[in-house]
Amino acid sequence: MRHLLTLRETSQADIQYLLDTAYALREILERPVKKVPTLRGRAMITLFYENSTRTRTSFEMAAKIMSAEAINIAVGQSSVAKGESLKDTLLTLQSLKADCLVMRHSASGAAEFAANHSRIPIVNAGDGRHEHPTQGLLDMLTIRLHKGDLAGLTVAIVGDILHSRVARSDVWGLTKMGAKVRLVGPRTLLPADGDRLPVEIFDDLQAGIEGADVVNVLRLQTERMDKGLLPSIREYARLFGISPKSLRAAKPDVIVMHPGPLNRGVEISADVADGVGGIQSVIEEQVTNGVAVRMAVLYMLMGNAGSSQDEN
C-alpha cells in the first residue's frame, strides 16, 4: 500500500493493520513527553485546498509526535493563487524531497489524481464528497475501543449523508470489518446511489436507530440550505436531531459520535453532545483517536518512501 486514498480500495488486512497500529500508538498520547523518534528526518507536507482546523492540526500533531517535520502550505498564499495547476504543485513538492503529502481538495477524486502523478505517498484528507479515510479509521478505532470487535455491530449514520465524505469512508471501512451500516436522513439528503452501497437506508429516525450499537451524527451543512434541500433547520432538528429522547430507540449502551464541528441544537442536542444523564458521548475521544490513527498512517506509508524512489 503506497497511498491512502479511500477505504473502499483499502484491503481488510490493511485496515486491520492500521487499527492495530493506532491502538498500540495511543499509549504515547498519554505520556508526559509525547515524542518517539521513529520518523526522524522525514517530512510531511499538508496541502489543504479547503478549510480545516482539526484534521490538519491532527496530522501535524501526529507527524511531530513521531518526530517527522510537518510543513503546512496555506493554499491562499501559495503559487496556487497564481494559477499553478495541482499537478505542477505536486511535482514541486516532491522535488522539495517531502516524504509524504497530506491533501484536502474540494474535487472528488483529487487525491487519486495526485497519486497518479506522485512518487511520494499521498494521504487523502478529504476529497469533495468522496472519502475521508482517516476519519473513517478514527471512527472505527473509537468504536472498537468501546465495543470490542466491529463484526456484527449495527452502526447508524444520521444526517446529511449526501454531502458527506465521512459517511462514505465509514460505510466502506465498517462493512469491510463486518459491521452493519444504516444511513438515516431526510430523502433529500440521502445519496442517489444508496442502493449500490452495502447499507440499509432509512428516512425515519426512530426506525433507523432502533437497536443501534453506535449512532454517528453528521453535521448539517447549513450551506446546503440554499439549494432547497430542507424546508427549515427547525424542522430538521425536530425530525432528525439526536436528543436523549430519540436515543431511547437505540441499545441502552449506545455510543454517540460526531465528526465535528457541532451544530448544537440542530443535529445533536447539547445534552447528548456533553454526555448528560449517562449518555455515552465519545466525541472528544474521536479527536484523540484521530491523532493515533494518523500516526499509524504516517508510520505505515513513510516506511515505504524508499520503495517509491526505487521504482523511478
Partner 1 sequence: MQSERSENGSAFGSAPRVAGGKDIPLMDADDIRRAVTRIGHEIVEKNHGATDLALVGILTRGAPLAERLGAVLRQIEGVDVPVGRLDIGLYRDDYGVNPADRPGLAPTDIPFDVTDKRIVLVDEVLYTGRTVRAALSALLDLGRPACIMLAVLVDRGHRELPIRPDFVGKNVPTARDEHVKVLLQETDGDDAVLLVRSED
Residue numbers at the binding site for partner 1 (CB under 8 A) = 17, 20-21, 23-28, 31, 33, 35-39, 66, 299-300, 302-307
Of 38 and 78, CB closest to partner 1:
38
Strand-pairing partners, residue 102, are: 46, 123
Q: How far is 133 from 173, CA to CA, in rounded Å?
A: 8
Tell the smallest beta-carbon distance from residue 306 to partner 1 (Å): 5
Q: How far is CA 239 from the centre of its chain?
A: 25
Q: Which is nearer to partner 1, 106 or 307 (CB)?
A: 307
- The CB-of-3 to partner 1 minimum distance in angstroms stands at 14
Least distance in Å: CB of 2 to partner 1? 9
Q: Which is nearer to partner 1, 120 or 205 (CB)?
A: 120
Q: CB of residue 26 vs partner 1: minimum separation in angstroms? A: 7
Comparison of 14 and 210: residue with beta carbon closer to partner 1: 14
Q: 157 vs 66, 147, 188, CA distance in Å?
A: 32, 17, 15
Spatial separation of the C-alpha atoms in residues 15 and 172, rounded to whole Å: 11
Measured CA distances, 172 to 30, 128, 250 (Å): 30, 17, 22
Closest to partner 1 by CB, 31 or 245:
31
Rounded-to-integer distance, Cα 19 and Cα 21, Å = 5
Cβ 312 to partner 1 shortest distance, Å: 14
CB of 258 to partner 1, least distance (A): 27
Sequence letter at residue 17: Y
Q: ∠ at Cα 285 (284, 290), nearest 5°?
A: 105
For partner 1, give the closer residue by CB, 12 or 206. 12
37 vs 261, which CB is nearer to partner 1? 37
Alpha-carbon distance values, 34 to 37, 134, 292 (Å): 10, 21, 12
Helix (H/G/I), strand (E/B), else coil: 161:
coil
Cross-strand partners of 122 = 101
Work out the burial of residue 220: count CB atoms within 10 Å of its CB; fewer than 13 is exposed, 13-18 middle, 19 or more buried.
buried
Choice between 16 and 72, CB closer to partner 1: 16
Q: How far is the CB of 289 from partner 1 (least distance, A)?
A: 14
> Considering only CA atoms, which of 277, 256, 156 is closest in space to residue 205?
156
Report the nearest approach of partner 1 to the CB of residue 24 (Å).
4
